[in-house]
Amino acid sequence: MKKSLFVLFLYSSLLTASEIAYRFVFGIETLPAAKMAETFALTFVIAALYLFARYKATRLLIAVFFAFSIIANNVHYAVYQSWITGINYWLMLKEITEVGGAGASMLDKLWLPALWGVLEVMLFCSLAKFRRKTHFSADILFAFLMLMIFVRSFDTKQEHGISPKPTYSRIKANYFSFGYFVGRVLPYQLFDLSKIPVFKQPAPSRIGQGSIQNIVLIMGESESAAHLKLFGYGRETSPFLTQLSQADFKPIVKQSYSAGFMTAVSLPSFFNVIPHANGLEQISGGDIVDKYDNTIHKTDQMIQTVFEQLQKQPDGNWLFAYTSDHGQYVRQDIYNQGTVQPDSYLVPLVLYSPDKAVQQAANQAFAPCEIAFHQQLSTFLIHTLGYDMPVSGCREGSVTGNLITGDAGSLNIRDGKAEYVYPQ
């Protein structure tokens, strides 16, 4: 037993030292002394459970849990500057192809933290070489600890699993996050247990032929209004939109709140005119900023090509609209989406028709608004098509978080003031 305790002390010390070094190397908040002691204690417990567990299945589950705690958190922090959450686990499973493609494009940024994590996991698993005696109580204790966090998370009002603090060790953060994923997110998503009231509204009736026969809608991808010069950005990334905003025929060109933080939330909400969460039932070279700005510039060129082709049409019976599904938070060392920074949900909105009546209607709906909403644009388009659909205003609205049901929270905006609200 003394040898086992010495081995556990040694391994816990090495892994705690690795946690401290990892934070130092990658610029993560330093652990205070009390948190260092907590990290050592948690590492000691998980290592002891792994060393003494009797059944291979238990040891495998402990190793997998530790691997997710270390590798998944390392990779997630490299991209998002936060620990992985229960919502992130769900989105990773749901959008596995997109996640894989995005990860492959960021290997230069991810390989070192991922490798660091792999080495830590290998060190942890090497504990098996010192296994001599096993105890059934270790299997029982591990099962109890996991079951406890699953049950606790099912009806929790705390945010540990939604947004674990950076001062948590990676093991502690993942304990809450994985518990929230299994105990809350999975059952709520698979069995439709959301406490967010289901939003329903009657389908609009067609009351006429519509004000215009041709609507051309361009939906951009992850274009943040924060990277357009006409909204205050330092570079001229969108010269055509800047020129268009100054045109004599005065098109609508302004910022808009997107319908959601993520494509899988924003687009269904936009195209099905869902103003609130849980409305499903109704329906290269250079740095990262250079690359992102170049994509906006290329999009601007494409918009110009489409717009100039429309202007050549002799009858002028068309309406042009442009916006983006959501934004993107991009800095020299950070690029992510689905976060609460305004760059992630403020997007450009362009609306113009040479038909004077249609453009006048657009001006009446959008001109009074400093910042519009996706809901405004979608209701305006449906109304313009001849349906009995009132055009939404811009005094209040919401941007749904990373789950369309609203279980990941929503950003509620009223009179220009935004507040992120988690479900109670």
Q: Choose the weakest-confidence range: 171-185, 283-297, 390-404, 406-420.
A: 283-297
What are all long-range contacts of 150-159, with beta carbons under 8 Å and residues at least 24 apart? 150/179, 150/182, 150/183, 151/183, 152/179, 152/183, 153/86, 153/179, 153/180, 153/182, 153/183, 153/184, 154/183, 154/184, 154/187, 156/180, 156/184, 157/424, 159/422
The pLDDT value given to residue 158: 64
Across the chain, mean pLDDT equals 91
pTM for this prediction: 0.75
Higher pLDDT, 281 or 20: 20
What crossing angle do the helices spanning 107-125 and 73-80 adopt, rounded to 10°?
A: 160
Where on the phi/psi map is residue 27: left (φ > 0), alpha (ψ -120 to 50), or beta? left
pLDDT band at 340 (very low <50, low <70, confident <90, very high): confident
162-171, 370-379, 414-423, range with greatest mean pLDDT: 370-379
pLDDT band at 284 (very low <50, low <70, confident <90, very high): very low
Higher pLDDT, 277 or 351: 351
Strands 346-352 and 318-324: antiparallel
The pLDDT value given to residue 372: 97
- The pair of three-digit structure tokens given for residue 369, joined into one six-digit string: 């608004």
pLDDT band at 288 (very low <50, low <70, confident <90, very high): confident
Q: Tell me the average pLDDT across 87-116.
A: 85
Q: Which residues contact 349 (CB under 8 A, 6 or more apart)?
A: 252, 253, 254, 255, 256, 321, 322, 323, 366, 372, 377
Is residue 51 scored above 50 in pLDDT? yes
The pLDDT value given to residue 157: 66
Give me the phi and psi of 333, to 5 degrees please: -115, 5
The pLDDT value given to residue 285: 47
Is residue 286 scored above 80 in pLDDT? no
The pLDDT value given to residue 280: 62
| The Cα angle at residue 200 between residues 363 and 422, in degrees rounded to 5 | 90
Q: Tell me the average pLDDT across 351-372.
A: 96
Measured between alpha carbons, how far is 400 from 50 in angstroms, rounded to an integer? 41
Give me the phi and psi of 419, to 5 degrees please: -140, 125
Is residue 231 scored above 50 in pLDDT? yes
Higher pLDDT, 239 or 160: 239
CB 31 within 8 A of CB 41: no
Domain ranges of the chain: 1-191, 212-283, 288-421
